[in-house]
Chain A
Amino acid sequence: MEQAATDEQQLVDRLRQRDSRAYHEAVQQFSGAMLATARSMLDPATAEDVVQESWVAVVDAIDGFEGRSALKTWLCTITANRARNRLRKSKRETLTDFQAPLDPNLEKRFNEGGGWIQPTRPWGSESADELLSNEALKDCLDKHFEALPETQRAVLMMREMQQMEADDVCRILGLSSANLRVSLHRARQKLFTMIEGFRETGEC
């Protein structure tokens, strides 16, 4: 860990010195995470443009990098900001119903008194290991991730996958912190229902 931190500090120093080889290395190392971040909000071609633009912006912004987060997280935050601006320009603003704490598919499994009608069956730890290495589940997961509402997909990518700060994610997406949490919960609930179904039927 400490060695990694030192390597990262050296890389940041070289980026600050406008060392083009350092940029080349950094592009190879970090563009994959930046592209995944941009793709959670944009179509493939626009996402790639945003990654390129973000790197050019990094040349100007690197002096302001304070090292409070990992370099990768900081780069993803810059990318997410720019991706969100593209989204505004193309008027793809979406407003989801943030009030309900439960995904509809989960909601309907309770009776009016708030008790289970259709409870989930036990999830053994050995079945988790099996699921983790199941390739068909991976394909199914990707499909359902793509199908999530825009905000839920972006929140899941930024918070869960890229470990961006909650404040940054709220600012970029224009969400209150309560709405951020509900979006994250509902995304997890949707994928829970999907994995549960896959586990019981073996089908996506």
Chain B
Amino acid sequence: MLKCREVTALASDWLDGDLTTAQKLKVRLHLMMCRHCRNLVDGLATTERIIRDRLDAELPIPAELQQRTTEAIEARLRTDQSGRN
């Protein structure tokens, strides 16, 4: 029987589906009997949802950065063109 501490250490892999069949069975068995660890797994699942939904996967692009990036690309495209000709 896994200890609560071990289940907690495996919880993140459990949620990702990254455990072996034997480990999955042991975790499932423990969770059936232990409400504290069920709460931990619920909390970790909520945490992942919040991370995915609320952390910024994109940041606003300053106009100045967009401008100089476009210029740098165009300069590269021009040298590329002359290289090919």
Interface on A for B, CB 8 Å cutoff?
Answer: 18, 20, 23-24, 27-28, 31-33, 35-36, 39, 48, 51-52, 55-56, 59-60, 101-102, 106-107, 110, 113-116, 119-123, 127-128, 131-132, 137-138, 141-142, 145, 156, 160-162, 181, 184-185, 188-189, 191-192, 195-196
In the assembled complex, how far is the CB of residue B52 from the closest CB belonging to chain A, in whole angstroms? 6
> Does B44 reach chain A (CB closer than 8 Å)?
yes
Using known A-B contacts A52-B72, A59-B76, A181-B18, determine if residue A122 contacts B57 with beta carbons closer than 8 Å.
no
Please tell me if the beta carbons of B70 and A23 are within 8 angstroms of each other in the complex. Answer: yes
A162, A181, A185 interface centre (most CB from chain B within 10 Å): A185
Using known A-B contacts A51-B65, A132-B54, A195-B50, determine if residue A185 contacts B13 with beta carbons closer than 8 Å.
yes
> What's the tally of chain B residues with a CB closer than 8 Å to chain A?
45
In the complex, which residues of chain B have a beta carbon less than 8 angstroms from the beta carbon of A128?
46, 49-50
**Can you show 28 pairs from A to B with CB atoms below 8 A apart?**
A20-B73, A32-B61, A35-B59, A39-B59, A51-B65, A52-B68, A52-B72, A55-B72, A56-B72, A56-B73, A102-B9, A110-B4, A115-B4, A115-B5, A116-B37, A120-B43, A123-B39, A123-B43, A127-B46, A128-B50, A156-B55, A161-B51, A161-B52, A162-B57, A185-B9, A188-B51, A192-B43, A192-B44
Please tell me if the beta carbons of A36 and B57 are within 8 angstroms of each other in the complex. Answer: yes
Interface on B for A, CB 8 Å cutoff?
Answer: 3-6, 8-9, 12-13, 18, 36-37, 39-40, 42-44, 46-62, 65-66, 68-70, 72-74, 76-77, 80-81
In the complex, which residues of chain A have a beta carbon less than 8 angstroms from the beta carbon of B73?
20, 23, 27, 55-56, 59
